[in-house]
Amino acid sequence: MIKFYQLVQGGFPPRKASRSANGSLPTDGFRYCEPVRTASGFGWYVYLPMDFWLLWDGAEIQWTVDAGANWRPLADAIQYPGFSDRFDRAAPEGCRGYAPPFITRGTEHDGLQIWTGTMISTEPGVAALFRRPANLDWRTDYTGWEGVVETDSWFGPLFLNIRLRKMGTPIVFRRTEPFIQVQPIPRALLKDAADAPLEVAEGVEGLSAVEWEAYANTVVRRMQTRRRLGDYAVETRKRASPAPA
């Protein structure tokens, strides 16, 4: 379904996303809240290949890869150290000089595009959602924009657009922390969702007999018979388990 190409070495390879949000979910949330577990584990984590720091004063941005020993201004775009030379040595003639940049400044003063050093492709008919890791977005010093890319026809860098939120304090990006979660989306679903008519039932009276029966099975039954936490999780996991031979 998906293939990653790790062009810049140094960090963890892409890996399956964690149902525990990398161990950050509360114990009861992990044990009993199947919707949170499913969302957390849907897709793959992609990591940065190196640690780096950004310092923003509200207008200008500086960057460093040595914990602040040497700060450099970020005027437009920068490359991973030594990568452009390695890229040109490996690339065919027509692609030399076009290495993807590591960090690119956006049109807004607080916007950046950060490349993970990884590229991505998907099988025909599958697009990819690039986003911050689900239920792991504890950062307050920057936010990330989500984006859906038609990676079955667009072969290129796996990046995240971010907006800086903290001024005057170094913002650290660790290669040991998931930076992006990639989630597959059928392209047909994108079109169907865009074209589908919106249906809204008004008021309680708008529920049909079939819908009341479904509500009784989903909510009323659980409220009447509930003996333990997580019965939705138990039923969901049973449906996901293969039937015995």
Per-residue burial over 141-150, b = 16 or more CB atoms within 10 Å of its CB, e = otherwise: bbebeeeebe
CB 8 within 8 Å of CB 83:
yes
Domain ranges of the chain: 2-195, 204-240
2-195 topology per CATH: Deoxyuridine 5'-Triphosphate Nucleotidohydrolase; Chain A (2.70.40)
> For residues 175 and 80, what is the distance between their CA atoms, to the nearest angstrom?
14
**pLDDT string in tens for the chain (245-residue length):** 899 999 998 989 999 998 887 777 777 667 667 888 888 889 999 999 999 999 999 999 999 999 888 999 998 999 999 999 999 999 999 999 999 999 999 888 899 999 999 999 999 999 999 999 988 877 899 999 999 999 999 999 999 999 999 999 999 999 999 999 999 999 998 888 888 888 888 899 888 999 999 888 888 877 777 655 556 555 565 656 665 44
> For residues 177 and 142, what is the distance between their CA atoms, to the nearest angstrom?
14
